[in-house]
Structure 1
Amino acid sequence: MQDRPSNFTDPATVASYASDTPRKVPGLADLHRMAALLLAEQAPAAAHVLAVGAGGGLELLSLATAQPDWRFTGVDPSPAMLALAHQAVASFAERVELVTGLVDQVTAGPFDGATCLLTLHFLDRGERLRTLREIHRRLKPGARLVVAHHAPPGENAERWMARSVAFGAGARPDRASTAAAGTLMTQRLPLLTPREEEALLRDAGFVDVELFYAAFSFRGWVGSRA
């Protein structure tokens, strides 16, 4: 997910998600490839991977294509977005389980790795920490978590959010409109700074937390369960 959660009940937003998201998130296909590589460094050949915020199915499709021996459990609170995920991974249906709800509704696992992409920026600090702890609790020792979402530098948050909006707008974006959109997103999303994001991952129990992806307002980290 990338837009506000309430938008994922809007038929137009849901219908355009698969085409809009790669346009809005710089290097999305490569982000998925990097996630697969980082997970594979620690995961067994027949890994079982948890995908939190899996609505739309884009990362599941990429990971399932790259790793034909992996199994996946994806969870998302939006039935409409999970319907998209069902369509996206139809050819891998025997390896993908999709669950409607939050991470709490997922089996205790334990899983060999996890992803949470374009999701955590919707959650306030308390809910974000709780979600990360629930993911951590479901991982095997040494298993990795890959996260990526909006996390602009605190002192220039609006400017970086506006740049991300402009990137998604395509050629010759209107600067006034993108600046206004960046300001609105900064006000509406419970954004944390990169330093705060890393501290939250460590508070949730993850170790070896490292930045691996940065693109305008987006950041991505990898960490491991001790």
Structure 2
Amino acid sequence: MVAKYTEGPPRFVPGYNSMLSMAAILLAERAHEDARILVLGAGGGLELKAFAQAQPSWTFDGVDPSAPMLDLAGQTLGPLASRAHLHRGYIDDAPEGPFDGATCLLTLHFVDVEERLRIASEIRRRLKPGAPFVAAHFSIVGGADERPLWLSRYSAFLAASGVEPDKAVAAQDAVGKRLSILTPEQDEVILREAGFSDTTLFYTGFTFRGWVAYA
């Protein structure tokens, strides 16, 4: 699974590569040329590589609980690896900063509301005043009645991306049962309660959404 991880997000998340490009642009609006960026959930290294290529003077602290995924991040970065310090663990294991920007992509849907608020608050605490924070994850509009429809659409997207139909259905079932998926309104409340301001939706891809907010 680790070996094939880098093949996954570009196929399974609508507009994934464009989302990374937009995230880099949003960070760069306020982060200076030699910025230090915190990347939470950095395993695999796809966002680290995208940001490093977009901004040749930035340095990064990447945090992930999986040692094999951090090893993969180093491989993905290749010659860019010298600009990234990789830390095994969770938000509490991240350096104190202060950072010029931060991201948490495709990660927060793995934790419940209370932990999500705590993580967002800890990220906020590590940022310089006014620094941007970019987050993207599963976030589905409407109430419980609409969720099955959106998850079936996600399954159909996987099948259209080349996933075997039975595996696409299994993925739909796993997402619905195992992930903590909020509505966009609930996600935005968490960012406000964590101390962020000027929260703006910048990305929507079927069952995924992304925001930029400021410390």
Could you tell me the TM-score, scaled by structure 2's length?
A: 0.93
1:58 aligned onto 2:46: yes
Structure 1 residues 166 and 109, CA gap change in structure 2 (3 angstroms): same
* Alignment equivalent of 1:126, drawn from 109, 114, 124: 114
Corresponding residue SS for 1:111: coil
1:206 aligned onto 2:196: yes
1:106 aligned onto 2:94: yes
Q: Is the 8 A contact 2:109 2:138 kept in 1?
A: yes
* Alignment equivalent of 1:220, drawn from 185, 210, 215: 210
Cα shift at 1:166: 2.1
Q: Give the structure 2 partner of residue 83 of structure 1.
A: 71
| Partner deviation per Cα, 1:23-51 (whole Å, 9 max, x = no partner) | 00111111110000000001111100000
Structure 1 runs (4+) deviating above 6 angstroms are 172-177
Q: Which runs of 5+ in 1 are unaligned?
A: 1-12
1:196 aligned onto 2:183: no
Q: Give the structure 2 partner of residue 166 of structure 1.
A: 156
Q: Is the 8 A contact 2:199 2:213 kept in 1?
A: yes
Corresponding residue SS for 1:126: helix
1:19 aligned onto 2:7: yes
Question: Matched residues, percent identical?
Answer: 50
Q: Distance in 1 between matches of 2:148 and 2:174?
A: 8
RMSD over aligned CA atoms reads: 1.7
One-letter amino acid of the structure 2 residue matched with residue 129 of structure 1? L
| Partner deviation per Cα, 1:89-120 (whole Å, 9 max, x = no partner) | 12112211000000111111000000000000
One-letter amino acid of the structure 2 residue matched with residue 206 of structure 1? F
Q: Distance in 1 between matches of 2:198 and 2:122?
A: 18
Q: Give the structure 2 partner of residue 74 of structure 1.
A: 62
Q: Give the structure 2 partner of residue 139 of structure 1.
A: 127
One-letter amino acid of the structure 2 residue matched with residue 14 of structure 1? V
Q: Distance in 1 between matches of 2:82 and 2:163?
A: 43
* Alignment equivalent of 1:49, drawn from 19, 23, 37: 37
One-letter amino acid of the structure 1 residue matched with residue 212 of structure 2? V
Q: Distance in 2 between matches of 1:48 and 1:25?
A: 27
Q: Distance in 1 between matches of 2:62 and 2:163?
A: 35
One-letter amino acid of the structure 1 residue matched with residue 6 of structure 2? A
1:38 aligned onto 2:35: no
Q: Distance in 1 between matches of 2:32 and 2:188?
A: 26
Structure 1 residues 111 and 120, CA gap change in structure 2 (3 angstroms): same
Q: How many residues are paired up?
A: 213
Could you tell me the TM-score, scaled by structure 1's length?
A: 0.89
Corresponding residue SS for 1:65: helix
1:95 aligned onto 2:83: yes
- Bigger drift between 203-212 and 185-194 goes to 185-194
Q: Distance in 1 between matches of 2:165 and 2:42?
A: 32
Q: Is the 8 A contact 2:61 2:86 kept in 1?
A: yes
Q: Is the 8 A contact 2:158 2:168 kept in 1?
A: no
